[in-house]
């Protein structure tokens, strides 16, 4: 058995109860898993201060001295504060505990030399350290301490004595055990290598053995930094190797339908029905799609573009190429509202062209549904737009050639895969997203897809002006709204609806709606939120679309899928409660016509530094990619919408795609070189890498393939 697969149960300080606790709380049960439980910060333990050197604004410090005496103070019913008066010969400081008094007396004795570690504060004119770390001076080798690691722990772990210090002791015991071992994975007490010399040497990476020891016990900042670089690179390298190997397999395994020619349907549309001249970006993307479709391999392309950049038009033109080659096309959207909007947009684009386009969602029932299912089977329906209803078993196509998926992160991997089964060969796939994805994230979430970007807005569109107002500036806000409505425009007013405080938020929206009705008695208002019945919600939305109401009061249900070119103002109340990407999506609801549009972010005065940064970024730029990069840096990848549903949930233990972009690119380049050189994973030169990848895939299902 591989030595790192041994149970942690027999490590010093563990036992059955703690083993079960670590398995439950952190998913750790083996030596190898424990080694990869990395510290989140370090504190310098190499220096000893004397009490007369202490200052109140110091971070953690170390003192060496003896406890002179103990004193107790009552804190009400059955609660005591224990104070130990501690001296190092240069002064006296108090060590304070607010609970666990029995433990304190058992553990610490007067006139014994200790090393005390903690954060000093001043209380009653004297320095004190609350709940300090205390070690016997005779047992602690300061020369070996260097930087002390700190580990994340849970409340249940702390109650079992597995706070950061407890975890550190267990980690120390593990590394000592490994040093004494010899076996298949550890040779002469060395942790086996997982990268070959041709990767390690040119990049001057330290060995895996050094990295694992230095990451837990670095003697210097340089050792800690070298360990972090090595472990981050390795983690990102295997993620990329997995993605690129999978993509390479897919390309070899699945032949795509060959769409050899562009024919009458496409040309009629292009020359007679195209509503405006394509932008340079749209033309470039069409060339990329066209090359994929005639290459003989299945297209798997991600189409990114800001709201209003013309993705739907590109998708339609791609579908028309499929029609010209005797195939059908489908477009899948995450909501019924969005599916209906796509249907209407496509029908408007096609005008009088004899192309049959139909809708299939959950609300299409009875005779109408039967007709559509028959039309898909006999091929008389050429394009179908729908929701996840399209993947039901009853839906069968005569010849599906291309599937367009909008906002793909809202569909699970298994759901999307069901579409592929509806065709003899997997259809070509075009994935669209209006959520700009930073390059580093795209390489990891959508690493097996080719990426196209529409980075130009159609001509005539004016950049949206974003303005920050405080909630005390209502008079000027309402004045601006009136001004726009009197010019014939319409206005969105968005209230937050955040799950944790849903009831309160809904109440705020209802009250806010009544206040707005009283404030604007001369205008008609609509109201939309996710708790309304679908038919009721749809009717309110349509009233606004038809221009019967001037103000739409809503929650973020309008974030995706409402297209009202006449709406020129987006007011977002309590904007401090929204993330950057959500603010950007909401802003994208306006600016769809030729008129100047505005986005007003309304907040209170008490803003954290991070919130102020978010608001400033929104006011400074309309560039979705810039905003997405900033969002990734501010929030980290785990919180970004879509990462969990993408089929490649993030399970990075030390790397951070937001901050390690350069390492990620290096790792991807190396992985690509290896996949190109050994596409069938057979070369003895790369045996170590393929074996390690198989091992990781077995133990970490989150690294699964993602298309």
pLDDT tens, residue by residue, 161-219: 888 888 988 998 898 888 765 555 555 556 889 999 999 999 999 999 999 999 998 98
pLDDT of residue 637: 56
pLDDT tens digit sequence for 99-146? 767 788 888 999 999 999 888 998 888 899 998 888 888 876 554 567
pLDDT of residue 4: 82
Residue owning tokens 């103070």: 73
pLDDT (average), residues 19-40: 92
Q: Is 462 left (phi over 0), alpha (psi -120 to 50) or beta?
A: beta
Report the half-sphere exposure of 257 (CA within 13 A, side-chain side).
24
Alpha helix locations (H) across 446-501?
474-486
pLDDT of residue 646: 37
Q: What are the E-state strand segments in 297-376?
A: 300-305, 328-332, 357-360
Spatial separation of the C-alpha atoms in residues 646 and 447, rounded to whole Å: 11
pLDDT of residue 676: 92
- Spatial neighbors of 245 by CB under 8 A, at least 6 apart, are 675, 681, 693
Of 275, 584, 254, whose CA–CA distance to 420 is shortest?
A: 254
pLDDT above 90: residue 322: yes
Report the half-sphere exposure of 491 (CA within 13 A, side-chain side).
26
Angle 336-350/311-324 helices, nearest 10 degrees? Answer: 70
pLDDT over 70 percentage in the chain: 88
Report the half-sphere exposure of 173 (CA within 13 A, side-chain side).
15
Q: How confident is the model at residue 347 (pLDDT cuts 50, 70, 90)?
A: very high
pLDDT above 60: residue 649: no
Whole-angstrom CA distances from 190 to 1, 186, 209, 212 are: 16, 5, 6, 10
Q: If you average pLDDT over each of 273-277, 304-308, 416-420, which comes out highest?
A: 273-277
By three-state DSSP, how is residue 693 classified? helix
Q: Count of CB atoms within 10 A of residue 152's CB?
A: 13
pLDDT of residue 93: 93
Spatial separation of the C-alpha atoms in residues 232 and 658, rounded to whole Å: 13
pTM score, whole prediction: 0.67
Of 78, 71, 120, 126, whose CA–CA distance to 99 is shortest?
A: 78
pLDDT of residue 128: 92
Spatial separation of the C-alpha atoms in residues 132 and 195, rounded to whole Å: 41
Residue 358 in contact with residue 385, Cβ under 8 Å? yes
Spatial separation of the C-alpha atoms in residues 503 and 480, rounded to whole Å: 30
Spatial separation of the C-alpha atoms in residues 293 and 401, rounded to whole Å: 10
> What is the chain's mean pLDDT, rounded?
85
pLDDT of residue 73: 85
Residue 382 in contact with residue 357, Cβ under 8 Å? yes
Q: Count of CB atoms within 10 A of residue 25's CB?
A: 15
């Amino acid at each position: 058995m591989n030595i790192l697969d041994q149970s942690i149960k027999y490590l010093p300080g563990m036992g059955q109860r703690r083993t079960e606790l670590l398995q439950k709380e952190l998913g750790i049960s083996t030596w190898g898993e424990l080694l990869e439980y990395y510290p989140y910060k370090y504190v310098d333990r190499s220096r000893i201060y004397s009490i007369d050197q202490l200052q109140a604004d110091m971070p953690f410090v170390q003192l060496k001295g003896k406890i002179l005496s103990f004193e107790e103070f009552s804190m009400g019913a059955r609660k005591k504060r224990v104070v130990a008066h501690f001296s190092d010969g240069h002064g006296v400081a108090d060590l304070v505990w607010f609970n666990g008094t029995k433990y304190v007396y058992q553990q610490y004795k007067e006139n014994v030399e200790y090393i005390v570690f903690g954060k000093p504060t001043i209380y009653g004119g004297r320095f004190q350290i609350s709940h300090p770390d205390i070690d016997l001076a005779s047992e602690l080798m300061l020369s070996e301490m260097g930087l002390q690691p700190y580990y994340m722990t849970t409340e249940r772990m702390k109650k079992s004595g597995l706070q950061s210090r407890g975890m550190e002791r267990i980690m120390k015991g593990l590394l000592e055990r490994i040093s004494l071992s010899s076996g298949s994975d550890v040779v002469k007490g060395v942790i086996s290598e997982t990268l070959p010399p041709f990767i390690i040497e040119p990049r001057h990476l330290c060995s895996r053995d050094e990295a694992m020891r230095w990451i837990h016990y670095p003697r210097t900042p340089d050792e800690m930094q070298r360990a972090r670089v090595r472990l981050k690179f390795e983690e990102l390298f295997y993620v990329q190797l997995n993605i690129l190997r999978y993509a390479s397999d897919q390309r070899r395994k699945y032949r795509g339908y060959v769409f050899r020619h562009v024919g009458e349907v496409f040309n009629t549309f292009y020359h007679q029905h195209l509503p405006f001249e394509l932008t340079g970006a749209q033309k470039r993307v069409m060339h990329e799609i066209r090359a994929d479709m005639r290459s003989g391999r299945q297209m798997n392309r991600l189409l990114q573009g800001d709201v209003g950049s013309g993705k739907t038009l590109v998708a339609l033109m791609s579908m028309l190429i499929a029609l010209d080659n005797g195939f059908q096309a489908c477009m899948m959207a995450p909501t019924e509202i969005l599916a209906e909007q796509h249907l209407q947009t496509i029908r408007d684009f096609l005008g009088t062209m004899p192309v049959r386009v139909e809708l299939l969602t959950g609300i299409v029932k009875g005779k109408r549904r039967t007709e559509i299912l028959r039309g898909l089977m006999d091929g008389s329906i050429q394009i179908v737009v729908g929701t996840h209803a399209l993947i039901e078993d009853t839906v069968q196509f005569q010849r599906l050639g291309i599937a367009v998926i909008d906002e793909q992160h809202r569909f699970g991997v298994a759901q999307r895969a069901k579409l592929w089964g509806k065709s003899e060969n997997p259809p070509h796939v075009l994935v669209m997203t209006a959520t700009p994805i930073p390059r580093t994230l795209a390489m990891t979430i959508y690493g097996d897809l080719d990426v196209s970007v529409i980075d130009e807005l159609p001509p005539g569109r004016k950049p949206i002006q974003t303005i920050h107002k405080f909630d005390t500036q209502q008079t000027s806000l309402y004045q601006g709204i009136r001004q726009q409505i009197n010019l014939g425009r319409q206005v969105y007013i968005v209230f937050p609806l955040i799950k944790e405080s849903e009831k309160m938020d809904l109440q705020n929206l209802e009250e806010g709606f009544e206040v707005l009705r009283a404030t604007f008695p001369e205008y008609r208002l609509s109201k939309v939120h996710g708790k309304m019945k679908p038919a009721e919600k749809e009717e309110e939305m349509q009233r606004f679309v038809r221009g019967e109401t001037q103000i739409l009061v809503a929650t973020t249900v309008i974030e995706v899928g409402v297209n009202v070119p006449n709406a020129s103002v987006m007011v977002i109340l309590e904007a401090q409660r929204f993330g950057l990407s959500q603010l950007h999506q909401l802003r994208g609801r306006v600016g769809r016509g030729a008129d100047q549009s505005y986005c007003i972010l309304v907040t209170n005065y008490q803003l954290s530094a991070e919130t102020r940064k978010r608001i400033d970024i929104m006011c400074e730029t309309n560039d979705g990619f810039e905003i997405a990069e900033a969002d990734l840096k501010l929030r980290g990848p785990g919180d970004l919408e879509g990462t969990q549903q993408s089929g490649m949930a993030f399970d990075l233990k030390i790397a951070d795609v937001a901050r390690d972009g350069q390492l990620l690119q290096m790792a991807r380049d190396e992985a690509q070189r290896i996949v190109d050189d050994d596409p069938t994973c057979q070369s003895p030169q790369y045996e170590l890498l393929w074996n390690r990848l198989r091992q990781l895939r077995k133990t970490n299902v989150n690294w699964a393939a993602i298309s």
